Structure 1
Amino acid sequence: MQYRAFEPDIEIYGAAMLATVGGFGPLRAIVERTLLRHGLIDTGRPDTSDAWYPQQSWLDALLEVDKRFGTQILFNIGAEIPNNAVFPASAVDVHTAVQSIDLAYHLNHRRAGRVMYDAATQTMLEGIGHYGYDRLGPSHILSTCETPYPCEFDFGIVATMVRRFEPRAIATHMGSECRRQGAQACTYSLRWDV
């Protein structure tokens, strides 16, 4: 289900969240006020990118943006994530890039003060869902996303990440199952060289 954190004590890294503000384009000032209303901008500090914020507050802000401006802006916000969030250096081609989304997702979230992916031990904590990777062939990937984030937001992340390495890639939402209609996950088909 989208817009509901899976666990109450999950936080998102400020740099990952605030970097998406560029996805709002001319609505940036309005969106910044939305973030302020949800406690996601610290007006007392000039740089809040190293701070951590409640994931539910970020989800509430995204829901407000969805209601006010529609789903295309959510896609644009998600598309900003691969350009600004912390990603593992292992993303060197389209397949490793899509695989790295789940690692990056966990690197940019923490539970009870602990980052949810430790690269040194390759330990991943559960509690926020996953961005899946299923290689169907050399030029076809399915990514099933089971996160509390809205469908279009995740679609923006996945489509942008695959296009970073395969600019002509075609990304489509698969099937009728969608979190927007209450499903647990959304699946995206990523194809190139078709």
Structure 2
Amino acid sequence: MSDPYPNCQVNGQAVLSIVGGMEVVQARALRILAENGISPLKPEGWYPLTHVLNSFKLIFEKIGPSTVRAIGRKTPDTARFPPDIDSLEKGLRAIDVAYHMAHRGSEQIGGYHFEPRDRRSAKMMCDNPYPCDFDLGMVEAICDRFRPKDALWVRIEHDPKSCRRRGDTSCTYLITW
């Protein structure tokens, strides 16, 4: 099977979220990355997107979806985000900005598309090549970090109408607060 992203690379700072999300088993994370040609892992390095995606596939198969989700939750801690984020909407919109800052070599990698629905709800459509558990974790982390002060909680639901795990081109998350 040919590589759908032959020229696309991911910066090492973003790949470090895999190690950060696997806190208890960091040595295992580094082994999985090395098995996929990502060694040594350097924050300033650039690595083939296909190698990163293959690492996620192994993590999902060998350890499980909750670990992939934990990696997503850690990503905002290690990825470069714009500095002026002070609201939930800006935080959710910034995921796409940070995603494109962390990748180079291809514009055909999809993204994270925020759409407000009303004053207290929105949706996030993710049409990138990463696993949906990863995206859910990242959206959760941003919602936790930028929860509106007048909201007791932020609820995130995976819209059952679209899921990449089933072969769809995107996943959509419905967000209410």
TM-score (ref. length: structure 1): 0.84
Contact 1:5-1:128 within 8 A present in 2 as well: no
Q: Does 1:55 align with 2:49?
A: yes
Q: Label 1:102 to 1:6 Cα distance change in 2 as closer, same or farther (>3 A).
A: farther
Residue pair 1:6, 1:148 contacting (<8 A) in 2 also: no
**1:82-97 map, 5 Å:** 82-97=76-91
Verify: 1:130 aligned to 2:111, yes or no. Answer: yes
Residue in 2 aligned with 1:146?
127
Name 2:8's counterpart in structure 1: 10
* Superposed displacement of residue 168, structure 1: 1.9
For residues 158-178 of structure 1, give each alpha carbon's deviation from its aligned partner in whole angstroms, at most 9, with x where no partner exists: 111122111721111012321
Q: Deviations over 1:104-131 (max 9, x none)?
A: 00000010xxxxxxxxxxxxx7211010
159, 171, 175: which one pairs with 2:160? 175
| Identical residues among aligned pairs (%) | 31
CA contact (8 A) 1:136 1:142 kept: yes
Over the aligned positions, Cα root-mean-square deviation in angstroms equals 1.7
Code of the residue aligned with 1:7 in structure 2: it is: Y
1:19 aligns with 2:17: yes
* DSSP 3-state at the match of 2:130: coil
Instruction: Work out the CA distance in 1 between the residues paired with 2:17 and 2:3.
Output: 20
CA contact (8 A) 2:112 2:126 kept: yes
Residue in 2 that maps onto 1:34: 32
The CA deviation at 1:27 is: 2.0
Question: For 1:132, what is the secondary structure of its paired residue?
Answer: strand
Q: Across the two proteins, how many residue pairs are aligned to each other?
A: 172
The answer to whether the 8 A contact 1:6-1:128 is kept is: no
Tell me the distance in 1 between the aligned counterparts of 2:96 and 2:122. 14
Residues 28-37 or 55-64, more deviating: 28-37
- Aligned-pair distance for 1:29? 1.3
Q: What is the Cα deviation at residue 6 of structure 1?
A: 4.5
Higher relative contact order (CA 8 A, sep 6+): 1
- Tell me, which stretches of 5 or more residues in structure 2 are unaligned? none
Distance 2:56 2:3 in 1: 12
Alignment-mate amino acid for residue 41 of structure 1: S
8 Å CA contact 1:35–1:61 kept in 2: the answer is yes
